[in-house]
Homo-oligomer: A and B are copies of this chain.
Amino acid sequence: MDFRILRRMGHFLAVAEEGHFGRAAARLGVSQPPLTAQIQALEAELGVRLLERTRKGARPTREGQALLPILRRLAEEAKQVESLARELRAGRHAPMAMACVTSALFDYLPPLVRGLRAAAPDSALAVREMDTADAVEALRRGEVDFALARLDRDRPPLRVMPLGSDALVAAMPEGHALLDEAGPLPLAALAGEALVLLPRSISPAYFDRQVSACREAGFEPVAMREVGSAMAQLAFVAAGLGVALVSSGMAVLRPPGVAFRALAGPVGSVGVALVWNGERETEAARAAIAAARGAFPAAGDAA
């Protein structure tokens, strides 16, 4: 992946926003002819025409318009790279906080928080809800002291203390035909259904477990759409746009329009674990380890 294309995308953004090559060139600090050449190179590389040149300037084509939202996100994140680099230069430290995946908010988080509070009543604790992938990054970055996330083994430098096992359950729109039969559902019954999946990048182990469970049941999961969060996943199910495999931790929420059904077997999934950065074992992380041992006696020992 040649990040050089990102620069040209920035050029295109500038032209699209100015509607004029000359003004965009002035904004970018170059002259107009090389800007024209860079835009042409980008169009050649992407294989689409991005700008319609008119007598009065340039405006995005339909394809150019369609790309603008994601290019704006890219530009915003490029700014974040810059500001993060400045923070790193300044040696900034992150405040004490924890991350928690949505599906653990109501089963694992309350006992852990109560345990922490019993040990240190005056301590402030900030909880940031995020998915496993973001939690891993936040731990590595030092933005949080520990996390409740779905990991099944150490990922150096991250240490993982599993707190319990978990099972996948099927989430279906209420009134779905498969709900007519009582009892646990064989996974193969979902073979022809549209699945609402979270992207693999959020939690690869979790995603792969779902895919392998489907394959063991004899079908390839067909991802009809991807959503960005666990809650949005259930919202799509509620809207009648597909079914989902979710952890039993999500089923405790009972959102309207969604019916949960256990799977025959049952089908194991990656459970929730306490996770912390072994290279940065803060006092808060140590307190969380102690509180987790108290709240979840069956939890595995830290390796």
Contact of A217 with B by CB under 8 A: no
Closest Cβ neighbor of A76 among chain B residues: B141
A4 CB → nearest B CB, Å: 5
* Distance, CA A9 to CA B48, complexed state (A): 26
A68 contacts the other chain (Cβ, under 8 Å)?
yes
Q: Which of A94-102, A185-193, A268-276, A286-294 lies at the interface? A: A94-102
Q: Mark A232-244, 1 if CB is under 8 A from B, else 0.
A: 1011101111000
Measured between beta carbons, the chain B residues less than 8 angstroms from A145 are 69
A-B contact pairs, 25 of them (CB 8 A): A1-B10, A1-B79, A3-B78, A4-B7, A46-B88, A48-B88, A66-B140, A66-B141, A67-B85, A68-B142, A69-B145, A70-B80, A70-B81, A70-B84, A72-B142, A74-B74, A100-B235, A102-B231, A106-B257, A109-B239, A110-B238, A110-B257, A127-B228, A128-B228, A252-B255
Interface string of A54-87 (1 = CB under 8 A from B): 0000000011011111111111111111101110
Contacts of A279 in B (CB 8 A): 62
Q: Is B235 a contact partner of A85 (Cβ separation < 8 A)?
A: no
Tell me how many residues of A have a C-beta within 8 Å of chain B: 89
| Contact of A143 with B by CB under 8 A | yes
Most buried by B among A6, A69, A279: A69
Please state if B69 and A127 are interface contacts (CB–CB under 8 Å). no
Query: Which chain B residues border A256 with CB–CB below 8 Å?
Result: 106-107, 252
Known pairs A66-B94, A102-B231. 4 more at Cβ < 8 A?
A5-B81, A6-B6, A69-B141, A74-B81
How distant is the Cα of A93 from the Cα of B63 in the complex, in angstroms?
A: 9
Contacts of A47 in B (CB 8 A): 85-86, 89
CB distance from A214 to the nearest CB of B (A): 22
Question: Are B232 and A128 touching (Cβ within 8 A)?
Answer: yes
A147 to chain B, nearest CB (A): 13
